Structure 1
Amino acid sequence: MGFLPEYGEKVAGYEVRVLNEREARAAAAILFVGAFIGLTNGVMLQTAVFSKYFVSFFTLDFLIRMLNPRYAPSLMLGRFFVQNQVPEYVGAAQKRFAWGLGFIIAVPMFYYLVIAFEPNPLKVLVCLICMFLLFFEAAFSICLGCKIFNFVMKEKATHCPGGVCEVHIKENVQKFNPIQKIILIVTVVAMLYGTYSYFVDLKDRTIFVKKMKELFLSDETLEQMQYEKDAAEFENDDF
């Protein structure tokens, strides 16, 4: 077999070529950790050295995934960790489409972080979107790119992670009773409020925090906070 055989693996019992979703989820978790380390280094240490190496690896990895996933470094790392688990096969076509979207996201990140270093909040947002997609795949086996595949492609995807592409009826264990719904809503509201409170109370020592406060707070609140800050600095000045 050459480097570019037919995409995906032919497995008995499946009418389409497939890939092992367990490997993909493990690889997504590995990449999420790398992206998280890069982001925290940038925000807390004000350095992009790690991010430059990681984005270079990420871009190359997704390029190889689009050509032949057998040789993608992150997928081979994922295989190493899950090699003793029973494979969970999913359609290769929609995974290739999703990884193509990942590569599209990776190219501008590579250019602005590695070739022409120009960090700004918009590029940080792109990184956060990438982390969001990786986290959803690793934690919940939700491939958002695979869902987009069904909207734009004439031939619908089959054998999606968790069987979400096939019509099925939820079991009772998958449903929420009224008390569970209330707890779920309260939990989500508490998490959102906690995130809001965190960024409001956080000291704006980095550009990232300042930009997040601009997103969360109104202009009047920002002006009041700046006024109080200037007043406090004026009072502490030694004459």
Structure 2
Amino acid sequence: MNLHSFLWEYGEKVPGYDIRVINEREARAAAGILGTLGMIVIFVGIGFNHIIVARVYLAFLFLDFTARMISPNYAPSMLLGKFVVQNQKPEYVGAMQKRFAWTLGWLISLPMLWWFVIHWDINFYKVLICVLCLVLTFLESAFSICVGCMIYKAITKDDPQHCPGGVCEIRQKEPIQMFNPVQKAITALTMVGLIVGTYLFLAYEEPKTFFGEFLHETVLTETQLQKEKDAAYQKEMEAEFGDDDF
């Protein structure tokens, strides 16, 4: 592979498409596989305190994105995704914007390789980087939303061709995509319920882990935190001295 082919002949040449493309179905399946594995790693790591699973997963993630930048045909997760969706009709999308998105994924995985694989040094903000990766893989696998492709469009100032879900094409929504008033109300109530429910859980349930404690403190105001500390102190005093009068 020479430099020209590496830079400009990325993806597959498919009849009927004037640019090189990749199969979006394989990409979405691969994103779902990486996201699922990431969630398992988080649960196992927190629940059983096994950091080795995180190290293996993040090393795999780095190698996988490295392979994607060179050729998605040999990236492990893409091959697994290809195996899963091999009987589905391909959905072709432009290869260059996907390569740009995967390059961003590689850049995100690079510091994680140092923090968690080579030199274990964990804190909340570094964990947020991992969470960001999971969010991006979820958006791609569940909704076919490629954030990196959007950034690519903003940087190049050029409309990419054949975007996931056909979002690049200027078109009117089909009737089935429209919301009637009842659907709008249900959607809005569901979103509000999710946000309020999450806040109430984080604010009023007793945290059990370091991560949960950080989130708990994040959603509270300074006044609420001080009130909570005062109540905890009062509870400790009552437990120590009881109701004895001096």
Q: TM-score, normalised by structure 2?
A: 0.91
Identify which of 113, 116, 121 aligns with 2:116. Answer: 113
**Partner secondary structure for residue 14 of structure 1:** coil
In the alignment, structure 1 residue 31 sits paired with structure 2 residue 34: yes
Amino acid at match of 1:223: Q
Distance in 2 (alpha carbons) for counterparts of 1:157 and 1:223: 52
Residue 130, structure 1, aligned to residue 99, structure 2 = no
The offset of 1:206, in angstroms, is 1.6
Structure 2 CA distance, aligned partners of 1:219 and 1:141?
39
CA distance in 2, matches of 1:163, 1:169: 12
Alignment equivalent of 1:176, drawn from 156, 160, 179 = 179
Specify which of 157, 160, 185 is matched with residue 160 of structure 2. Answer: 157
- Amino acid paired to 2:218: L
For the pair shown, which has the larger CA radius of gyration, 1 or 2?
A: 2
1:224 alignment counterpart: 227
Query: Any residues of structure 2 matched to 1:67-106 within 5 Å, and which?
Result: 67-106=70-109
Specify which of 24, 46, 57 is matched with residue 21 of structure 1: 24
Deviation string for 1:10-30 (max 9, x for gaps)?
Answer: 000000000000000000000
Which residue is equivalent to 2:144? 141
Question: Which residue identity lines up with residue 77 of structure 2 in the other structure?
Answer: S
1:159 and 1:165 in contact (8 A); partners too: yes
Aligned 8 A contact 1:23 1:79 in 2: yes
> Over residues 57-93 of structure 1, what are the superposed CA-to-partner deviations in whole Å (9 max), with x where a residue is unaligned?
0011001100111000000000110000010000000
Give the SS at the match of 2:99: helix
In structure 2, how many angstroms separate the alpha carbons of the residues matched to 1:234 and 1:183?
48
Q: Distance in 1 between matches of 2:161 and 2:107?
A: 24
Aligned partner letter, 1:202: E
Is there any run of 5+ residues in structure 2 with no aligned partner, and where?
A: none
Preserved CA contact (<8 Å) 1:35 1:131: yes
Check conservation: 1:202, 1:209, Cα contact below 8 A: no
Larger mean Cα displacement after TM superposition, 21-30 or 227-236: 227-236
> What amino acid maps onto 1:111 in structure 2?
W
Tell me the distance in 1 between the aligned counterparts of 2:168 and 2:28. 18
**Partner residue, 1:201:** 204
With 110-119 and 221-230 compared, the bigger mean Cα shift is at 221-230
Shift in alpha-carbon separation, 1:88–1:36, aligned structure 2, 3 A: same
- Count residues in correspondence: 238
Which whole-Å deviations, capped at 9, do the CAs of 1:82-125 have from their partners, x for residues lacking one? 00001000000000000001011101111101112111111111
C-alpha displacement of 1:238: 7.4
Aligned residue type for 1:180: Q
- Check the 8 A contact 1:59/1:110 in 2, yes or no: yes
CA deviation vs aligned residue, 1:38-67 (integer Å, no higher than 9, x gap): 222333334422111100000110011001
Provide TM-score, normalisation by structure 1.
0.94
- Unmatched 5+ stretches in structure 1: none
* CA distance in structure 2 between the aligned counterparts of 1:217 and 1:45, rounded to whole angstroms: 29
In 2 relative to 1, CA 24–102 (structure 1 residues): closer, same or farther, beyond 3 Å?
same
> Residue 149 of structure 1 contacts residue 156 of structure 1 at CA under 8 Å; is this kept in 2?
no
How far off its partner does 1:34 sit?
1.3
